[in-house]
Amino acid sequence: MKPRMLQLLRESRGLSQTALSKLSKVPQPTLSKVENGLGELDEERAQAVADALQYPLEAFEWSDEIFGFGSAAFHHRKQQSLGVTTLQRIHADVNLIRMRCARLMQGIEIEPRYRFPNFEVEEWGTPKDVARAVRATWKLPMGPIGNMVQVLENAGALVVRADMYSQRISAISTSVPGSPPLFILNEGLSADRERFTLAHELGHLVMHDLPTPPEDAEREADAFASEFLMPAAEIGPQLSRIDLAKAANLKRHWKVAMSALIRRARDLGRIDERRYTSLNVQISQKGWRKIEPVQVEHEQPTLIPQIIKMHHDVHDYDVQVLARLTGLYDAEYSERFGDHATSPLRIVR
Ligand SMILES: [Zn+2]
């Protein structure tokens, strides 16, 4: 057992050493020694630990690099502070999802339509300018971004949804040299929220290669996302005299939240502060802070499903093989990666 893998797999289940000790009947001091690289488990105890954590034994032998939240590899859009245990668990999951994706991609070549650029804000002017530059570099048509997930996948990124155990976090993106950027969305977000979150994370990826003070980084990523999804030059005139009915119509077209449209109208000087406040009061009174009336359809990632289909069709792998490859038991593999044996093949060659 690799000490750090044991720790990571344990944390991914949200268990302390004491809790794992109770479940596996392996004394806590023994677990502590193993996690610190000061001891080994015999076969029987190793199996007991693996069973308690519900992972196949092979997963404990992985020697992939593990990245910390403090490292430049991670960007996360945090709503409010999260508890330490939850944060540890998310951190473990993100690392594991990255490792699983890397294994799924072994032996598969993806030719992205375009690449992720690195545009320093200072060089380009403002996050808004960077957003325009990315749209231009990727030759995206004017108007709304039809499918945000597809835009990222066309650049070779992977997008997955995962339970993050708290509604306080929307998404995490990671970018590790040598593997495709990975965008992990928290489950249960509305589609318009997902799109804004992905655009925000894209902003980090493009602009924040170098360490940036967190507050600046968040502000810049939001400004990037606003311009990327709602280009000022195009949307500006449409936002004049916006009211709730108009916001609902614009939401259908631009696929961004009504609240985001109203904020955009204020930021672009199309409505004054008083009207902005009044619209927000109306939104709250109608209970639209939580659920807005117009629903945007969720965008489905297609890259991982295609990779999995390729494993089925070309490599003749079945679910059992893919589950072992990704360090999971069959049931959890199917839950996380679904059955993609029948999904259409498109980008992967
Ligand atoms: Zn952020």
Burial of 245 (0-12, 13-18, 19+ CB in 10 A): exposed
Distance, CA 99 to ligand 1 centroid (Å)? 23
**Ligand 1 centroid from CA 216, angstroms:** 10
Question: Which residues make Cβ contacts (< 8 Å) with residue 304, sequence separation at least 6?
Answer: 101, 104, 158, 160, 337, 340
Distance 212 CA to ligand 1 centre (A): 11
pLDDT (0 to 100) of residue 198: 97
Residue 77: the pLDDT is: 55
Per-residue pLDDT of 68-96, as tens digits, reads 766 656 666 554 577 888 888 999 999 99
How much distance in Å is there from the Cα of 41 to the middle of ligand 1?
41
Q: Give 200 Cα–ligand 1 centroid separation in angstroms.
A: 6
Per-residue model confidence as pLDDT tens for the chain (349 residues): 999 999 999 999 999 999 999 999 999 999 999 999 999 999 999 999 999 999 999 999 999 988 876 665 666 655 457 788 888 899 999 999 999 999 999 888 888 999 999 999 989 999 999 999 999 999 999 999 999 999 999 999 999 999 999 888 888 888 888 788 999 999 999 999 999 999 999 999 999 888 788 889 999 999 999 999 999 999 999 999 999 999 999 999 999 999 999 999 999 999 999 999 999 999 999 999 888 999 999 999 999 999 999 999 988 999 999 999 999 999 999 999 886 544 444 444 3
- Tell me how far apart the alpha carbons of residues 115 and 111 are, in angstroms, rounded to a whole number: 10
For the question of whether the overall pTM of this predicted structure is more than 0.75, the answer is yes
Cα 215 to ligand 1 centroid, rounded to whole Å: 9
Q: Which of 34, 32, 94 is nearest to 64 (CA)?
A: 94
The answer to whether the beta carbons of residues 180 and 153 sit under 8 Å apart is: no
Task: Give the other-Cβ count within 10 Å of 25's Cβ.
Answer: 10
Distance between CA atoms of residues 59 and 88, nearest Å: 19
